[in-house]
Amino acid sequence: MTKEIAICAEGLSKRYRLGSAGTAHDSLRDLLASGARALMGRGRTPRGNSQRQAFFALRDASFEILRGENVGIIGANGAGKSTLLKILSRIVEPTSGRALVAGRVGALLEVGTGFHGELTGRENIYLYGAILGMTQREIAAKFDAIVDFAEIEQFIDTPVKRYSSGMYVRLAFSVAAHLRPDILLLDEVLAVGDAAFQRKCMNFARELQRQEATILFVSHNMFSIKAMCTRVIYLQSGRIEYDGPTDPGIEIYERGAHLSVVPWSKDNPDDWAVELTDIELSDQAGKPKSVFDFGERMKIRLRFNARERLEAPNVMVAFVRSDGVASNVYATDTDKFVMGAVDGEGTLELTTSPLKLVAERYVIHVLFRMRGTQRLLCAQVGRSFHVRHEEFDPLNYGVFHEGGEWRLARARKFDEDFCESRNVAAP
């Protein structure tokens, strides 16, 4: 028997007009006029003077998702990921297109959703549960499990305005998850909370998955996408660029992210004094590659363009693990390398020490900073590469591996002590 379809979207689009919120153009009179037109059933506002630039947050998105499928939604900031989830959770209406959704939808978009600061944790569980569509009886039945999962027993009768942000997220996730939705929409929620809780959430999501729940998961963390999803939808500027198995999808996404701005920066790259124009990875002989053996040296060649004359900037090259942790950073300053003044195009070469990072995928972030002031001149994502080793994996060997020296000291003495304390004759 074929699986049931959980979500079916046909040509979903959402259009916003730039600057439409709160500009001087929007007078009450305009609203009443167009509202009246809309009420008359002739919704189209005439173009003319109110013509402003429109943009599609989501454009013509069509897809089908089967029951029990876990789908990762990936893409750069502003690619339409959150808009898609908001449409599917019925918070915003699509401008055109439609979607059919089967079963109960639970959405956790950002954090703290629907909590009221003055109310206690207990009261908020009931409030939030009701908002998500649970009955009071259902909530009462799951109350203990919710509190238990969120780990907030001793604060349950404290107003949530006194909660830490971590407690907030835990409680929100816990309620949403215990709703037992048929479809769960998660937007970057797991990015908050601590590592232990994130793991707990992942396990819970897998549990839901086993029970045939459909999960749509927006994240910038490719590590958790890989761990949770068998399929990804990659959005670029509101369009579906790729829809298919996870690994090739992430690869395409990362190719798209090549030389893009690092995720944590809100700067406009056009304002930066330096632009990274290319990055090449090769072995020491200069042969380009993207998979390196553990212990191999890597040669990184950065091509950049300085838009102004810069006195000896500090250049940093960071290897960022797929869960966002910078695992190793090279910097011209710490290596006592002084570039001198740069202006216009230039090429910088870095040969790394033998790689000691465990076998994983790493993304290279490149940062240019002004010496002294630390002004950010450039912060771009370069390429990604893999480290290959049969044994040293992140699960068993942490971040990097370096051998140590071992010696068995006082072995004989230990045996004597041991035997004495047991009152037996030493061998």
Partner 1 sequence: MSVLEEAPPADGPGRGTAALRGRNSLPITEIRSGRGLFDLDLGAVWRFRELLTTLIVRDIKVLYRQAALGAAWAVFQPIFAVAIFTVVFGNFARIPSDGAPYAVFAFAAVLPWTYFAEAVRRSSLGLVQDAELVRKVYFPRLVMPLASVIAPLVDLAIAFVVLLVVMVLYGVAPTWRLIAIPPLVLVTALLALSLGLWLGPLNVRFRDVKHTLPFLLQVWMYASPVIYPLSLIPEHLRWFYSLNPMVGVIEGFRWALLSKGDPDVTALAIGAGMTVVLLAGGLIFFRRMERFFADLI
Binding residues vs partner 1 (CB under 8 A): 4-5, 8, 10-11, 13, 15-17, 20-21, 26, 28, 30-31, 34-35, 37-39, 41, 43-45, 50, 52, 54, 62, 64, 86-105, 107, 109-110, 112-114, 116, 118-119, 123, 126-127, 130-136, 159, 182
Q: Which helix (H) or strand (E) holds 350?
A: strand 341-351
Neighbours of 114 (CB within 10 A): 14
Give the nearest distance from C-beta 100 to partner 1 in angstroms: 5
Nearer to partner 1, 22 or 286 (CB): 22
Name the token pair of 239. 């369009």
Give the nearest distance from C-beta 78 to partner 1 in angstroms: 16
Give the nearest distance from C-beta 235 to partner 1 in angstroms: 18
Nearer to partner 1, 85 or 348 (CB): 85
Tell me if residue 12 falls in helix, strand or coil.
strand
Give the nearest distance from C-beta 29 to partner 1 in angstroms: 10
Q: Which residues contact 263 (CB under 8 A, 6 or more apart)?
A: 77, 220, 324, 381
Give the nearest distance from C-beta 113 to partner 1 in angstroms: 4
Nearer to partner 1, 86 or 321 (CB): 86
Nearer to partner 1, 21 or 195 (CB): 21
Give the nearest distance from C-beta 97 to partner 1 in angstroms: 6
The closest alpha carbon to 129, from 118, 144, 140, 120, belongs to: 140
Name the token pair of 427. 């061998």
Cα 168 vs. chain centroid, distance in angstroms?
19
How, if at all, do strands 376-388 and 361-369 pair? Answer: antiparallel
Tell me if residue 94 falls in helix, strand or coil.
coil
Nearer to partner 1, 6 or 367 (CB): 6
Nearer to partner 1, 14 or 369 (CB): 14
Q: Is the Cα torsion angle 17, 23, 25, 26 positive or negative in sign?
A: positive
Neighbours of 289 (CB within 10 A): 12
CB 312 within 8 A of CB 371: yes
Nearer to partner 1, 71 or 88 (CB): 88
Tell me if residue 14 falls in helix, strand or coil.
strand
Give the nearest distance from C-beta 80 to partner 1 in angstroms: 14
Nearer to partner 1, 22 or 404 (CB): 22
Phi/psi of residue 346, each to 5°? -160, 165
Give the nearest distance from C-beta 9 to partner 1 in angstroms: 8
Cα–Cα separations (whole angstroms), residue 117 to 124, 128, 163, 334: 9, 12, 9, 47
Name the token pair of 63. 């897809």
DSSP 207: H
Nearer to partner 1, 122 or 206 (CB): 122
Give the nearest distance from C-beta 201 to partner 1 in angstroms: 18
| Number of residues written out for the chain | 427
Nearer to partner 1, 87 or 279 (CB): 87
CB 257 within 8 A of CB 96: no
For residue 59, the number of C-alpha atoms closer than 13 Å in the C-beta half-sphere is 14
Give the nearest distance from C-beta 24 to partner 1 in angstroms: 12
State how far the Cα of 342 lies from the Cα of 189, in Å rounded to an integer: 42
